[in-house]
Amino acid sequence: MSSDKRKKAPDQPELPIEGVQAAAGDAQAAKKAAESDTRGEQHVVAEAVEAVVHKLFDPKKLEVGLHTRVDKGFLEYASYVIRDRAIANLADGLKPVQRRILWSLHQRDDGRFSKVATIAGHCAQYHPHGEASINDALVVLTNKRYLIEGQGNFGNIYTGDPAAAPRYIECRLTELARTDLFNDEITELVPSYDGRNQEPVTLPCKLPLTLMLGTEGIAVGLSARILPHNFPELIAAQIAILKKQPFKCLPDFPTGGLMDARDYQDGKGSVKVRAKIKTKDEATVVIKEIPPTTTTDSLIASIEDAVQKGKLKVKAINDFTSENVEIEIKCPAGVDAEKLVDALYAFTACEVSIASRIVVIKDNRPVELTVSEILRENTEALVAILKRELELRQQALQDELHYRTLERIFIEERIYKLIEKCKTADAVTAAVHAGFQPFQRQLVRDLVAADVERLLQVRIRRISLFDINQHREEMEKVKAGLAETLKHLQQLTKYVVGHLEALLEKYGPLYPRLTTKSARHEEVDVKAAAFKSFKVAYDREAGYVGYKVNGDEFKLECTKFDKVLLVFKDGTYKVTELPEKLFVGPELFYCGLPDREAVFTCAYTDRKASYLKRFKFGGTILNKAYLCIPDKSRILFFAPATPKVLYVRYKPAPHQKINQQTCDPAKIEIKGPKTRGRQISIKDISSVTAEPTRGWEERATTTEIVFA
């Protein structure tokens, strides 16, 4: 170690040996002095220790050192969680616990099922976080179908029911995992957490597991969510990459559903997935597939919650789910099944949006990639692995061909006779080398000591029963295999494409797409889909308005999203949220649903005259009070739309010849709520109605008001 490395960081407190020794001497001296001090030894020693502490530890330097240690420790912890627990590795698409489970299954694989508890116990020698996490991860891997085959109750991905206890269920590797996930010759091993065993850094995986399995991980300051994709489609995309053709891959979820992936851009963005809902009859709908991230229980709970909040109406819900999803929903009387389907998509978990963020470990660092980048990396890794396997096979075939040639010459040319008179090991070796000297050109490579040792172990029975014809046939097979391997190495891309096409042909029918792709979901208008489940009324005597008020005036059927327009006698109006029970007093003149384009007719009076106008409220700010008539005025008549005739009655007055009149409001132009309107009269008006009231006299004194 260099002197630079031995130096401490400048921000750490330095404790020189000389200082420690001097402080220790001071403490000893203080102790001796305490023996003769009348204050007592204990008090003096305490003062000495305090002096030593202040001399050794500068509080400022100690604080800096503590911060450094905390920062370093937290960084190491964060790095461990990101790299060794939560985030999958790009090389094989697995998290550490998944890799250790598969490695344990590989080590114990004999083709038969093993108890999950047994595998978890074996895996615990590699995984330092307990068997509970191993059991959970193994169940999840089994339910993803590709790598582990289960026997027993591994739970239900539709209902969310948990798996049975590990001692009751069994598992083993699938054929796909056995053939395309392991190769002990090229697997790099490192010591396990306790140093007693060897575990793989990554598995030599030939499958695009990162996108096949999909995964979620939450680490320190980092999260990943990789959506699962369809296995045959991923293989077809890898073939397209090798052939330099365009490709596109979309997610595929084990629960099925209908997917809108217009916002999913090569692994970035999100997808919307809907439940598959069929209309059984006019009053019944059936949910046949559910979106991911939901279960039948959570889906039913979301429907019940929407019903309680008044967003939709349902008569009954029956769950008949077993191996397949089947949730039957009955519509109440007067509710159309098609409208109920729209409401289910709008207000329940029948439609979910799932965001995607592909973060993986690459070269010991977390990186964010796209689907195409992941597939290209996986394809390059596949080419490298297959090339390495071909090279190993080539080497093995060359070694076998070399030894079979040695064996044939050794027996046919009776070289073994030369060693009968040799008395030392060196003489035996020299005799064998001398015997092969004339046949050097027939050898694949030069003779080495290991070859001599192997030849000397040939048994007499093997020599006596040697069949030259059979031997030549076996050598021809070896030569043919070697020639084929060399051909594959020369045409590596073609060989890899053939490997992928064989996978696609064998496993394509076993893993069909489950989630149906759709170009675009028809957007559901939330307000249009909402049911009118709330009945708003006004109790003038009590002064309350709302859907929990028992009143006889202004009865409205509203949805959860409706607003309410309130107009008072003094001309004040405002738009408010759907009230539960709101006190407004006895002066409410109108209560209805706001419409910016709706036309209202209003007659009002001030101290000097009375006026009539037609107007539209237009836009308003929620819960803000406005005036639709001048200040200190009073509304005489207010109604939506335009009545055909208004009947105006005046208060009796001396020498008054006309006591009642009619008018046609349609002759007044439509303006805004702040318009003054047209003057009716300067007389005091007793009433303005849309229908003739009791006592209305049909006589010559009734005239029509002419607006100037």
Q: Pairing between strand 351-356 and 268-274?
A: antiparallel
| Euclidean distance between CA atoms 448 and 433, whole angstroms | 9
Counting every residue written for the chain, the total comes to 708
Q: CA triplet 310, 311, 314: central angle to 5 degrees?
A: 80
SS3 assignment, position 353:
strand
Q: Which residues of 415-445 are buried (b: 16+ CB within 10 A; e: fewer)?
A: bbebbeeeeeeeebbebbeebbeebeeeeee
Task: Return the amino acid letter for 332.
Answer: P
Which residue intervals of 448-575 are DSSP H helices? 449-456, 460-464, 468-490, 492-507, 526-529
What φ, ψ does residue 612 adopt, rounded to 5°?
-130, 140
| Euclidean distance between CA atoms 564 and 393, whole angstroms | 80
Question: Which H or E run includes 171?
Answer: strand 170-173
In sequence order, which residues have a C-beta less than 8 Å from that of residue 597 and are 6 or more positions away?
616
Structure-token pair, residue 651: 């208060």
| Euclidean distance between CA atoms 229 and 250, whole angstroms | 6
User: Is residue 538 annotated as part of the catalytic site, yes or no?
Assistant: no
Question: Which residue among the candidates 126, 168, 511, 647 is catalytic per the annotation?
Answer: 168
Structure-token pair, residue 26: 């001071």
| Euclidean distance between CA atoms 293 and 276, whole angstroms | 15
Give the position of tokens 């967003």. 311
| Euclidean distance between CA atoms 217 and 213, whole angstroms | 13
| Euclidean distance between CA atoms 81 and 507, whole angstroms | 35
Question: Which H or E run includes 582?
Answer: strand 582-583
Please list the active-site residues.
168
